[in-house]
Copies of this chain bind each other. A is one copy, B any other.
Amino acid sequence: MFNAEKETQNIIAFIQDYYQKHNLKGAVLGVSGGKDSGVVSALLCAALGPENVVGLTLPCHSKPEDARDANLVAKHFGFEMINIDLTDTYDTFQKQIDALGDYSKEEKKNSEINLKPRLRMATCYYMAALLSATRGGTYLVPMNGNLCERFVGYYTKGGDNVGDISPIGNLMVDEVIAVGAVLGVPEQVLYRTPDDGLSGMSDEQKMGVSYKDIAKVIKGEEVQQEAYEKIMRMHNGSLHKLNIPMYEPESH
């Protein structure tokens, strides 16, 4: 049974231990306005103090609600927010692609959906290095992903799966919410229907399976056969994102 009070204290100690051991200072993370980044921000503020946490809003043809909810979290926990609009960067890149040929919206769909998290990752690291250089001390880029998403591969390789420390990567969605409730993450953020802010669909609609069923499969509990098969198909189909084949010579 998941003990939210205890696990919350454990995660805070886990972050503090790692920072102390490696003599680190702060954290720069993308704050989307959703629960995962809201809970991770709250954990970082508790572990490092809000003065060492910098949140980024990284709009890229985004809905205005995203930044509004992100700022709500920042205000609640008292950490600094920086807005870096990636729309122009994204559009400038697209112009170079459009110069290559006349590709349809449908043909570019997968390319575009995954470009945004990659630009966001690059921006988080840009800012982490910049703040390390200007404020002194090393800033890390924490990851916001949870176990349910990781299990089915619901992330962009080279995007939101790149980071330096993962506070909630082994927590299921309901456990993330339980930790967020302990920390007092605003309900508007904690209970917002998760979506990627990119495709216009909720995460569950996009995946075609529920987080509840994913959690059950991870825990070995029973779910409907069709859901089970879909979840395992997604899981197995995503393993290539983690296991990169590398040739091993017979001898050196």
Contacts and interface: CB of A to CB of B under 8 A. Distances in A.
Copies of this subunit: 2
Nearest to A215: B252
The 6 closest A-B pairs by CB, nearest first: A118-B122, A158-B162, A166-B246, A111-B129, A92-B92, A110-B129
Interface of A is mostly: helix
A3 B250 contact: yes
B107 A96 contact: no
B251 A1 contact: yes
B96 A85 contact: yes
Contacts of A126: 93, 97, 111, 114-115
A132 interface: yes
Task: Give the one of A6, A118, A240, A251 with max B CB within 10 A.
Answer: A118
Nearest to A174: B252
A80 to B, nearest CB: 12
Contacts of A122: 115, 118-119, 122, 158
A96 to B, nearest CB: 5
A125 B114 contact: yes
Interface string A100-137: 10010011111100110011011101110110111000
Interface of A: 1-3, 6-7, 10-11, 14-15, 18, 22, 82, 84-86, 88-89, 92-93, 95-97, 100, 103, 106-111, 114-115, 118-119, 121-123, 125-127, 129-130, 132-134, 143, 157-158, 162-172, 175, 218-219, 240, 244-252
B93 A169 contact: no
Contact of A240 (B22, B103, B107): B22
A3 B10 CA distance: 51
A132 B166 CA distance: 32
